[in-house]
Structure formats: structure tokens, C-alpha cells
Amino acid sequence: MNIEMGPVEERLRRTLETSGAAHLTLIDPDSQSPEAAGIMALAAAKGGTDGIMVGGSVGASGSVLQDTVRAIKSATNLPVILFPSSSAGLTPGADAVFFMSLLNSRSTSYLIENQALGAPLVLRYGIEPIPMAYVIVEPGGTVAWVGDAKCIPRAKPEIAVAYSLAGKFLGMRLVYLEAGSGAGSPVPLPFVAAVKRAVGKDTLLLVGGGIRKGEAAAELVRAGADIIVTGTAVEQSSDVSSFVSEINSSIKGRA
């Protein structure tokens, strides 16, 4: 039997039913002060984002992580979902965690060891675990290097399909196709289309890495993405609320 679905996942699925797509804002605790993270989260909330992911490949742990989650929680009513690169990326106070395995990692650390080290903490902290397959496509960037990923070549969507199906058959209800934070271009559309076709409606497909414009986000949603993740473009935006609003108005209303 699969683990039970919790309120954060249910809320995301309800958003998909009503709006056709959802948007998550990724905040890296290492990129700004906790106070600035709270201000950014509030602006993203005003722009219509559906939740805040908190995580990063380097330095997203300890007190800076805990203070960032706390600041976001006090600034907004949005769900805060941890996006950890290791068991050090877990902290109390978050609502949920993408409990993921980097399926195309060469390292057992990122396949299962960090998950084993982190699982008792998830239980103790009372955070909702959301089972997710994490698959990295070229170029992959820092997360691919840190996670020792064998990046999927951009001309080989069938390999992403194979990994995504494996994740689904292992009981993961979400699949995240990642091009790497700050990638020159997002995951190619044929990947998104082929993976969505293979995993079906009930498995939620997240796409992130290199998404900077509403039109790019809309193309990914038309191809089959359920949830669009943006991090760098939000962080670099001079008007976070308008940027997030542009993304959200481009992807929603298609249900």
C-alpha cells in the first residue's frame, strides 16, 4: 500500500483540478537572509504562486534553513515544502517534504542513504512526506554535480520515460524533471510530453530549471507539465509579484 496522501499534496491536486496547472516558487536559503526570503515569499503569494519550496544544493541547512522556513511561514499562508539535497535539508516547521530519490544518480547516497537517515526526522518533525522521483536532464548544473547524476542526454526522452515509469512503479506519485537551476533552457518539450503520456494523469509531473518566461512555462504545461517550478528567475526579478503573476496567468485556466 502506498503511503497516505496528506493535506499539502491534496491541496496541490485540487489546484490542478480547478486551474489545470500549479506553480511553486523555489527559495534557496543560501541566497538571501531569512527576512528577505519572507518578503520574497509574500510577493510570490501575491503573484498567485501555490506554494514555496525551500532547498538548495549547497549551504541550505542548519539555522539558516530553519530561520528561512520560519520567516516564510510567518509571512504567508502558503504551504512550505522542503526540497532537500540531503538529510541536512530537513527542518521542523515546514509543512511537507518532497521525499525524493535522485533516480539517475550513481551514488547510493542520493538514491536511498540520505532518505534512510532523514526518514526518522520526517516522522519526528511531523512533516508530510510526498513521494517523488527526481530525474536530472542535461545540463543539470550544480545539483547534477552534487548528486553525482548520470544526466539524461537532451536527445533521449525515452530514458526519462524509463526512469519516470520506474518511479511510478515504485510508488512515487510525483515525477520531477530537472534541467538544473539556472539552466540555459528548460527540459525539452518532447521529454515532458513523453513522460506525461507514460505516467498518466494521476502521477503529477513537475518541471524546473531554466524557466524564465510565462510563454516557456505555458509551452511546458501544454506539453504535459502539471507543476512549474521557478527559482532563479524569481530571485533575480526586480518585481517578484509581477513576474510570478505573469507565470501564473500563462499556465492557469486551462483545466
Q: What does the binding site for ligand 1GP look like in residue numbers (CB under 6 A)?
A: 26, 143, 178, 181-183, 208-211, 229-233
Cα–Cα distance for residue pair 9/90, rounded to 1 Å:
18
Q: Please, what is the minimum distance in Å from the beta carbon of residue 81 to ligand 1GP?
A: 12
Work out the number of other CB atoms within 10 angstroms of the CB of residue 194.
18
Cα–Cα distance for residue pair 99/193, rounded to 1 Å:
24
Q: Say if residue 84 is preceded by a cis peptide, omega within 30 of 0.
A: no
Q: Please, what is the minimum distance in Å from the beta carbon of residue 83 to ligand 1GP?
A: 7
Q: Please, what is the minimum distance in Å from the beta carbon of residue 95 to ligand 1GP?
A: 19
In the complex with ligand 1GP, the residue whose CB is nearer, 48 or 210, is 210
Cα–Cα distance for residue pair 195/24, rounded to 1 Å:
20
User: Which residues, in sequence order, are bridge partners of residue 25?
Assistant: 52, 230
In the complex with ligand 1GP, the residue whose CB is nearer, 122 or 228, is 228
Residue 146 — φ and ψ, nearest 5°? Answer: -65, -40
The residue number whose beta carbon is nearest to ligand 1GP equals 208
Q: Please, what is the minimum distance in Å from the beta carbon of residue 159 to ligand 1GP?
A: 19
In the complex with ligand 1GP, the residue whose CB is nearer, 45 or 216, is 216
